[in-house]
Every structure is written in C-alpha cells, then in structure tokens.
Amino acid sequence: MIDRSLLRDSFKKYINRFNAEDERISLKIRHTAFVANNSDHLSETLELTEDDKDLAWAIAMLHDLGRFEQVAANGSFIDSVSSDHADAGVDYLFGKGKISDFIPQGTLSDNDLNCIELAITYHNKHLLPPQLSDRQRLFCNIIRDADKLDIFRVCVENTFEVAHEYPPETVAESAVSKEVLECFERFETLDYSRRKYPADIFLGHIAMCFGLYFPQSRKLAAEQGYIMRMADFTFSNPDSQEEYVYMKERLEAFLNSCM
C-alpha cells in the first residue's frame, strides 16, 4: 500500500528546490494538490479499490514533476520551446531512479510501477496509444481527466499571461487557425503541435473539455463553471470574434449535453 504521508513529504522536499515566489511554481504546487483531489473524486465515483485509489492519487502527485524544472529553466509552460514536461518527469522518476524517493522499493508490483510511468508519460499527449491494457488505460484516463479539470480552474484563477502565455491584448488581436475552429465543430481537443497563433493556445485550453473521458468528469466540468468563465472573452480582431461567437455556441451546446 502506498504511504500517502511519505509521498507528500517527499514531494515537499522536491519542490523546496524551487522558488515558490515564482507565480508559475506556486501555481504548479497548488495544481498538483487539486489534481490529486480530482483523482480521489474520480476514483470514488468509479468505485476503485483502496489500493487502486492510492495508485491513481500517487500518479496525480507525481504527474507534473517535470514542470518545475521546465519553469525554472525556461519560465514557460510551452513544451515545444523547452522539453516535453511529461517525458522529463518520467526520465527523472524512472530514468534516474528517483521513484524510490517517493514510493519505496517493494511497495508496488512492476505492473503498477509501469502504470505510473505510462500514465505520467501520456497525461499531456493528444491521444493515448492503442496498445495499452485496460488497466493502463484506466489510470491514464483518470490522470488526464483530473488534470484537465484543474487546468480550467488554473486558467480562471491566475493571470491571463501565466495561464495562456500571452497577454490578453495579443490574443485579442490574433487570428484563429482553421484547425482550432474544426476542433469546436467536431467537439475534439486540439493537437498542440498544430497551434499557429497566440489565440490557439487560449482556445486550445478551452477545447480540453471535449477530451474529458468519463461522464462524471464532463458533468463536473459543466457544473463547476470554470470553462464558461474562461470563455468570457472578446476578440478585437473582427474575423476572430465572428469565429469565436460560433465556437462559444458549440461550447455551450457541448456543456449543456453534459448536465
């Protein structure tokens, strides 16, 4: 069984290496706690065993370790300008063998350790690979949903620049790519490798709601209201604003279907 107190203490020791006065660092500390709570909520609704609930919680606690190094080195959350934060976290935990700092050797089976590695690896990827087992896919989907649900909160409670990498004025003036518009048409998430304009980052964050896997997650996202608060935005670019009116209509239709 995973020792939650030990893992929490190890996480605190890890983040003490970083400057908590940095808004991006403090954001990620809080984000980790919220994602862990979301994971527990989903685990309860899915009626997981206590051991599997703890495993999902541990994945949530460890899923963004790579973000801290990324922000300290680059001051940005954009993986394409630095490194893939999920891959960096997996390399730290499993490549460098630091997983034993958080979960002592012998606590988990090799299969469960593999679930942690895969769930962290794929928590930020556009799609899951088809070869995953049902158990691996379960834990991947839990962390992906728990993460998305808190990203909506993060985008509302933090400054626009930190949440979306650009000031609101820059996004308001921006064009919107055809790929983003198509995501709202089809109720699909945006493949981040296809982002072209500043507005695509902002709109890509909203479109994350289309990728929520569990019905419980979609219902919770609709009830929390963070997504529509994120969407309270006006483009100064007239073409983008016209497209955005349509995208908001699609967003509202999707969220209404989740209630």
* Residues contacting 76, CB < 8 A, separation 6+: 70, 82, 165
* Residues contacting 131, CB < 8 A, separation 6+: none
Q: For the whole model, what pTM was predicted?
A: 0.95
* Calpha distance 41→36 (Å, rounded): 9
pLDDT in tens, the chain (259 residues): 899 999 999 999 999 999 999 988 999 999 999 999 999 999 999 999 999 999 999 999 999 999 998 888 777 777 666 679 999 999 999 999 999 999 999 999 999 999 999 999 999 999 999 999 999 999 999 999 999 999 999 999 999 999 999 999 999 999 999 999 999 999 999 999 899 999 999 999 999 999 999 999 999 999 999 999 999 999 999 999 999 999 999 999 999 999 8
